[in-house]
């Protein structure tokens, strides 16, 4: 697993560094400050490849750009640090493999566009790493080929084959899918069937409370969950199969990278997705040697519900929360000590999200004006809220009748309404 990562002279800041935890690493912060960029660099460190074009440093940088990293060999020791340097002469990164573990493990990267990148632990002949799969969103569902040979069959074909043959993958898929969906709306597979006049093959079907729905016509949120469940299942079993074909031990190491884990999900699903991912991966079957898979997670999110859902599960010894912020026009990152906040509103007003109020912008302005008025800071009041009566009318317009701010305001001002 990755223990440390440092990025120098690339990305949104001159210097970003992380000391990661062994299980869950959450990355939060405003848009455009480098969260997805860090995930791309993690993929490079783990695989020696980029999901698209390689990251390039600033052209006017006097010193070479560097990506430094350290791998933990086990719970008590680490390998020496390594550094990849950008070679301006040929426009490429020099990948170092000297201080890497012999077993990099299986790496799955769920990209925010709905595509996936997968690097298998099994090495090809002569010890070279196998080329990672970079799946576009349509490849996840329809499959992909290279040189006339199928690289992956895709969700539609694979799932039908698994369910109809009761393959081991079917059991894994059913289990993960059920765990990833909310308790109140469990996703369950019905018997595959033909559904289109012009298409004679069978299609996977979802069994929902209101009837059966072809997965090709399911909502974006459901497809986000189903795609994740499918790729985890397929990559896990494919990694085992590849290791057997190459007569190599089956790796237990698993790295799961998810960009914007809440993407397309209803709040009920946002509240359950991350605990469900943890439960699903912890319950996965052991390898042929009887060893359970060990996961390390790197996850970005903008959703306070995702963080609130982690409160009963967060382990300060194994998990970390990182926050990206802007300081002096430069992106910085800091690890924030975990604190149980109790409600989504408190998460919104915490340092992680930094909102003044868990309300509308207009309500936030009105409440701040009311607070300034109550302490006598009248010179701070906006022009349209310069009197007690103006503030009161704006509070009435922007706050609900049962808002907890009302008693404080009414007691202080003596107004009633």
Percent of all residues in the chain with a pLDDT value above 90, rounded to a whole number: 60
Q: How far apart are CA 266 and CA 259, in angstroms?
A: 17
| pLDDT of 341 above 80 | yes
pLDDT, one tens digit per residue, over 175-206 is 999 999 887 778 999 999 998 888 888 999 99
Q: How far apart are CA 206 and CA 44, in angstroms?
A: 36
**Distance of CA 265 to CAs 25, 65, 226, Å?**
20, 37, 12
| pLDDT of 99 above 70 | no
| pLDDT of 129 above 60 | no
| pLDDT of 62 above 80 | no
Ranking 18-22, 99-103, 249-253 by mean pLDDT, the lowest is: 99-103
- pTM of the full structure: 0.91
| Beta carbons of 356 and 349 less than 8 angstroms apart | yes
| Beta carbons of 347 and 308 less than 8 angstroms apart | yes
H/E stretch holding 245: helix 220-245
Pairing of strands 188-193, 149-152: unpaired
Q: How far apart are CA 58 and CA 60, in angstroms?
A: 6
Q: Domain extents for the chain?
A: 361-413
pLDDT, one tens digit per residue, over 247-303 is 888 888 999 999 999 999 999 999 999 999 999 988 887 777 778 889 999 999 999
Nearest Cα neighbor of 358 from 371, 367, 348 is 348
Q: State the pLDDT at residue 145.
A: 80
Indicate the average pLDDT of the chain.
Answer: 88
Query: The tokens 């390594």 sit on which residue?
Result: 82
The dihedrals phi and psi of 84, each to the nearest 5 degrees, come to: -100, 130
Q: State the pLDDT at residue 164.
A: 93
pLDDT, one tens digit per residue, over 306-324 is 999 999 999 999 999 999 9
H/E stretch holding 177: helix 168-180
- Name the pLDDT band for 124 (thresholds 50, 70, 90): low
Ranking 13-17, 23-27, 92-96, 407-411 by mean pLDDT, the lowest is: 92-96
| pLDDT of 8 above 80 | yes
Tokens of 286: 């052991």
Q: How far apart are CA 378 and CA 371, in angstroms?
A: 10
What's the rounded mean pLDDT across residues 88-93? Answer: 80
Nearest Cα neighbor of 212 from 230, 231, 192 is 192
Q: State the pLDDT at residue 364.
A: 95
H/E stretch holding 27: strand 24-29
pLDDT, one tens digit per residue, over 210-230 is 889 999 999 999 999 999 999
pLDDT, one tens digit per residue, over 368-385 is 999 999 999 998 899 999
- Chain centroid to Cα 351, Å, comes to 20
Residues in CB range of 406: below 8 A, 6 or more apart: 395, 399
pLDDT, one tens digit per residue, over 146-174 is 766 667 899 999 999 999 998 999 999 99
Beta bridge partners of 123: 129
| pLDDT of 102 above 90 | no
Q: State the pLDDT at residue 123.
A: 66
| pLDDT of 128 above 90 | no
pLDDT, one tens digit per residue, over 67-84 is 999 988 766 667 778 888
């Amino acid at each position: 697993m990755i223990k440390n990562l440092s990025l120098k002279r690339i990305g949104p800041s001159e210097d970003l560094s992380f000391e990661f935890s062994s299980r869950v690493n959450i990355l939060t912060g405003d848009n455009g400050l480098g969260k997805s960029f860090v995930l791309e660099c993690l993929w490079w460190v783990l695989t020696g490849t980029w999901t698209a074009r390689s990251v390039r440093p600033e052209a006017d940088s006097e010193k070479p750009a560097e990506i430094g990293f350290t791998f933990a060999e086990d719970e008590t020791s680490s390998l020496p640090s390594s550094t990849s340097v950008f070679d301006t002469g040929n426009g490429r990164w020099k990948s170092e493999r000297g201080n890497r573990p012999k077993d990099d493990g299986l790496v799955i990267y769920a990209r925010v566009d709905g595509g996936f990148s997968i690097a298998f632990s099994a090495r090809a002949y002569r010890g070279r790493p196998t080329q990672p799969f970079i799946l576009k969103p349509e490849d996840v569902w329809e499959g992909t080929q290279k040189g006339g040979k199928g690289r992956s069959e895709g969700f539609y074909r694979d799932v039908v084959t698994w369910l109809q043959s009761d393959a081991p993958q079917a059991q894994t898929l059913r289990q993960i899918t059920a765990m990833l969906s909310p308790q109140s709306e469990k996703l369950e597979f019905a018997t595959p069937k033909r559904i289109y006049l012009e298409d004679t093959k069978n299609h996977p079907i979802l069994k929902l409370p209101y009837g059966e729905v072809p997965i090709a016509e399911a909502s974006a949120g459901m497809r986000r969950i189903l795609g994740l469940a499918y790729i985890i299942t397929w990559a896990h079993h494919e990694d085992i199969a590849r290791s057997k074909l190459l007569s190599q031990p089956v790796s237990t190491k698993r790295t799961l990278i998810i960009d914007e884990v809440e993407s397309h999900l209803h709040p009920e699903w946002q509240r359950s997705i991350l605990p469900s991912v943890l439960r699903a991966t912890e319950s996965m079957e052991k390898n042929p040697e009887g060893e359970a898979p060990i996961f390390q997670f790197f996850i970005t999110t903008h959703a306070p519900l995702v963080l609130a859902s982690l409160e009963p599960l967060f382990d300060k010894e194994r998990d970390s929360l990182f926050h990206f912020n802007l300081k002096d026009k430069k992106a910085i990152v800091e690890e924030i000590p975990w604190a149980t906040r109790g409600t989504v509103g408190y998460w919104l007003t915490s340092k992680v999200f930094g909102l003044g109020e868990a309300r509308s912008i207009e309500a936030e302005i009105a409440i701040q004006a009311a607070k300034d008025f109550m302490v006598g800071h009248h010179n701070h009041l906006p022009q349209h809220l310069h009197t007690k009566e103006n503030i009161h009318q704006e509070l009435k317009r922007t706050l609900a009748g049962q808002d907890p701010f009302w008693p404080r305001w009414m007691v202080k001002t003596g107004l009633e309404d």
